[in-house]
Structure 1
Amino acid sequence: MSYLMPSEFVTKMVDAGESKVFMATRDTLIRAYMAGAILALAAVFAITASVQTGSPLIGAILFPVGFCMLYLLGFDLLTGVFVLTPLALIDKRPGVTLKGILRNWGLVFVGNFAGALTVAFMMAFIFTYGFSMEPNDVGAKIGHIGELRTLGYAKFGFMGWMTIFFRGMLCNWMVSTGVVGAMISTNVSGKVIAMWMPIMLFFAMTFEHSVVNMFLFPSGLMMGGNFSILDYFIWNEIPVVLGNLVGGIAFTGLTLYATHIKTGAKRKLV
């Protein structure tokens, strides 16, 4: 059977969260580095397709290829561990502690950022021929995205900050749904289809993904984007990370766990 029942795949989610908490530091960092790098390349691919075709929808349709690649290879994104590791704590798995979860999140954040930053430098170098000329059309587009999604929010003050927070929540609702979708199927084609749909939705709706932004904004700064590192962290990365955390665990992790593992009391038949 190529489909798992909800009670089966939710147990699989808890098992995955437990294994990530106890993963060796080296393995966690390497897997996170590769995930950040692959997702960054997928973002370049999607933006290039959007610029070349003039259709952002084409970019959204193509972007999930990176997510599928990194998931099938067993690499880890911050958005995924935000959802899976807390479930192991809630399920009272032996040895799982809040300290262990925070350690995993910190390592994955560092690994994702390092991978995305590596690709950001390489692509900025390519788009500017070693920083010896103005960026090409795709590079200019990336720089514009950085300005729009930092200063564009900053001009609205707290309401702008909350807007990007909610965009981060909605993003990881969809991304974590993709992670779960991959666990539902037991064959590669089913996993890819289940992942593709919600990931395409988040990208098309321009929701905010913390790891994608680890590529977009540093590369934009390298290519002369009109915003600062402080703008990036205050008006993008921090609220997006928090939104990704809340959205993933609240909309996906807890809802599935509460209704398929810790189910409510059944009504007695008289």
Structure 2
Amino acid sequence: MSEKEKEEEREDNENRETNQNSSEIDRPGRQFYIPSQIVDEFGEKGRDHLRQPFGSQFLLALTAGSFMTFGAIFSILLAEGVETQGIFYLLSGLGFAAGYAMVFISGAVLFTEINVLLPSYLFNKANLMKVNIYKFWASTYIGNILGAVMVAVLIEVSSSLNAEFYTELSSYLDKKMKFMDHGVKGWFEVVVSGILANWLIGMAAFLTTAARDITGKILGTTLPVILFVAGNFQHSAANMGYFSMGVLASDKYSWYEYILFNLIPASIGNLIGGGILVSLLFSYAYKDDIQTSLGKKKKY
């Protein structure tokens, strides 16, 4: 055997030994889901929501809307009286994140979350019963509004909040409704702002789904929520909480102005932001990696 052959044999033996040792290493499991698994989870959650009885769907939508009003109130209370802008935005965002954390962890059904879950289901399954999907979408939206109003009424009846709260609430409402002064241009500005808002909330759902423990889920929810609150991006479900309090506490804006000049265009933007920029984008990017149990076979 030549010297060269001996050297090659020695290298082969070393490689086999290294591979054997590597296979015996006890590697810890990942503490998060990878993106393709997250998209798959989105689709399965969307399917699970659709399979629930209508009564359960509607009650969970009411609950989610209730949490939005609690989040709106907490965002105002935490930041009340804070004059440093950065700290104000941080505290306000943290307050609203409490409402979203309750939604995501409890399994409540929020309109802007299903804008991510249902498209993921649609993009990964054929032969859908579309009537059921549209009915679910509509009932969730109505349920969220009713839940938000219900909590606002209870809070008003309780007389728990002080005058400073309502002064701060008025400034929040002015920020939400400032687009009304821009006419038609302002209406489309709300649409674009809604796209940005639900892009971020879609990523909150993405990060929350990725986490495999309660701490990670809360943190994953908090960061995008702080960003959308600080940016004054128009998120229809969040605004339901603020507007429910505003209708009862002030006559500066009427209920139809809240709906026509904010909720409707914001909701359109939210559908685009969640469905296209999160669900469709990631479904397409990871289409070859998604191992789905939704009924669509993977192509090889």
Task: Calculate the TM-score normalised by the size of structure 1.
Answer: 0.88
**Structure 1 residue 196 displacement after superposition:** 1.4
- Counterpart among 89, 100, 103 of residue 122 in structure 2: 89
Preserved contact between residue 43 and residue 124 of structure 2 (Cα < 8 Å): yes
Aligned to 1:241: 267
Q: How far apart in 2 are the matches of 1:100 and 1:8?
A: 26
- Counterpart among 235, 244, 251 of residue 277 in structure 2: 251
Residue 48 of structure 2 is aligned to residue 15 of structure 1:
no
Deviations 1:191-243 (A, max 9, x none): 12222111111111111111121121132121123111221111111001111
Q: How far apart in 1 are the matches of 2:43 and 2:60?
A: 19
Structure 1 247/128 Cα, relative in aligned 2: closer, same or farther at 3 Å? same
**Structure 1 residue 255 displacement after superposition:** 0.7
Aligned to 1:24: 53
**Structure 1 residue 80 displacement after superposition:** 0.7
Aligned to 1:161: 187
Between the two proteins, what is the percent identity of the paired residues? 24
Q: How far apart in 1 are the matches of 2:169 and 2:159?
A: 11
Q: How far apart in 2 are the matches of 1:148 and 1:61?
A: 18
Residue 249 of structure 2 is aligned to residue 223 of structure 1:
yes
Q: How far apart in 1 are the matches of 2:241 and 2:40?
A: 33
Structure 1 30/123 Cα, relative in aligned 2: closer, same or farther at 3 Å? same
**Structure 1 residue 154 displacement after superposition:** 2.0
Matches within 5 A, 1:1-270: 1=29, 2-54=31-83, 55-93=88-126, 96-127=128-159, 136-150=163-177, 152-261=178-287
Structure 1 66/73 Cα, relative in aligned 2: closer, same or farther at 3 Å? same
Q: How far apart in 2 are the matches of 1:3 and 1:40?
A: 30
Deviations 1:54-74 (A, max 9, x none): 424321233212211221111
Q: How far apart in 2 are the matches of 1:189 and 1:31?
A: 23
- Extract unaligned runs of 5+ from structure 1: 130-134, 264-270
Preserved contact between residue 64 and residue 110 of structure 2 (Cα < 8 Å): yes
Letter matched to residue 58 of structure 2: L
Task: Calculate the TM-score normalised by the size of structure 2.
Answer: 0.80
**Structure 1 residue 142 displacement after superposition:** 1.9
Deviations 1:73-125 (A, max 9, x none): 1111100111111222222255x332221111111112111110011112333
Letter matched to residue 175 of structure 1: I
**Structure 1 residue 126 displacement after superposition:** 4.1
Q: How far apart in 2 are the matches of 1:218 and 1:73?
A: 22
Deviations 1:123-181 (A, max 9, x none): 3334588xxxxx7121232234334433x222211110111111111110011111111
Q: How far apart in 2 are the matches of 1:174 and 1:99?
A: 28
Letter matched to residue 201 of structure 2: V
Preserved contact between residue 169 and residue 246 of structure 2 (Cα < 8 Å): yes
- Extract unaligned runs of 5+ from structure 2: 1-28, 290-300
Larger Rg: 2
Preserved contact between residue 69 and residue 244 of structure 2 (Cα < 8 Å): no
SS at match of 1:3: coil
Greater Cα offset, 58-67 or 113-122: 58-67
Aligned to 2:16: none
Aligned to 2:294: none
